Amino acid sequence: MEIVKNILELTLEHLSLAYGALILSIAIGIPLAIASLYNRKLASVIITIANLIEAIPSFAVVALVVPLLGIGFRPAILAILFRALLPIIKNTYIGLSNVDNALIDAAKGIGMTNWQILINIRFPHAYPPMFAGIKFAAILSNGIAVLTAIIGSGGLGKLIFEGLASFNIKKIFYGVIPVMVIAIATDYLLTFTEKRITPEVL
């Protein structure tokens, strides 16, 4: 019983770590993507940084956080955020800006404001790439949330690393299986949401 309770606790911790970072990334990433749409300079800065950070291995990002922010749950969230933010900004920005000029011209011409064009025209077109970005960010968050156990974030990574250190195969499985279930469930949930809100014809 003790071990079940322990797994549940660590799973909850893992979820709040991975999902907390993911939700924060969405909450910060989408407004930044919108802002880039109306500011070319910001757009080029963000895309350049995004490409740069994508080239750094996740493990290196986790390691880098320690000298800057120390160890524990919050630095871990920041490490994940750092990696998950970029695919969301990048994909949302691409989706929002890749709308046919003639459509935007028509929308302005019939008297829609920039905001109405964003909500009614740009976002429906941006959903597919935006969700692809969010899914990728979710996979990253789930994976990095395991890694951050090294810097004291807690969560399922703790079980896995302990199991690895002591050759305790059971313990490894206790950690790995919930991580896999979370990954599959997240993907399913996001696909479901995407299908619900994306217009059928797009």
Binding region for other proteins (CB under 8 A): 100, 102-103, 105-113, 116, 120-121, 124-125, 199, 201-202
Amino acid at 182: I
Q: How far is the CB of 118 from other proteins (least distance, A)?
A: 13
Q: How far is the CB of 199 from other proteins (least distance, A)?
A: 4
Helices assigned H by DSSP within 72-168:
73-97, 101-109, 114-117, 123-147, 156-165
Rounded to a whole number of angstroms, the distance between the first and last alpha carbons of the chain is: 50
Q: Which residue has the tokens 């895309």?
A: 47
State both tokens at 37. Answer: 């749409």
54 or 100: whose CB is closer to other proteins? 100
Q: How far is the CB of 38 from other proteins (least distance, A)?
A: 16
Long-range contacts of the stretch 193-202 (C-beta < 8 A, 24+): 193/131, 194/127, 194/128, 194/131, 197/127, 198/124, 198/127, 198/128, 198/131, 199/124, 202/124, 202/125, 202/127, 202/128
56 or 103: whose CB is closer to other proteins? 103
Rounded CA separation 22/36 (Å): 20
Q: How far is the CB of 106 from other proteins (least distance, A)?
A: 3
125 or 135: whose CB is closer to other proteins? 125
Q: How far is the CB of 191 from other proteins (least distance, A)?
A: 19
10 or 130: whose CB is closer to other proteins? 130
57 or 199: whose CB is closer to other proteins? 199
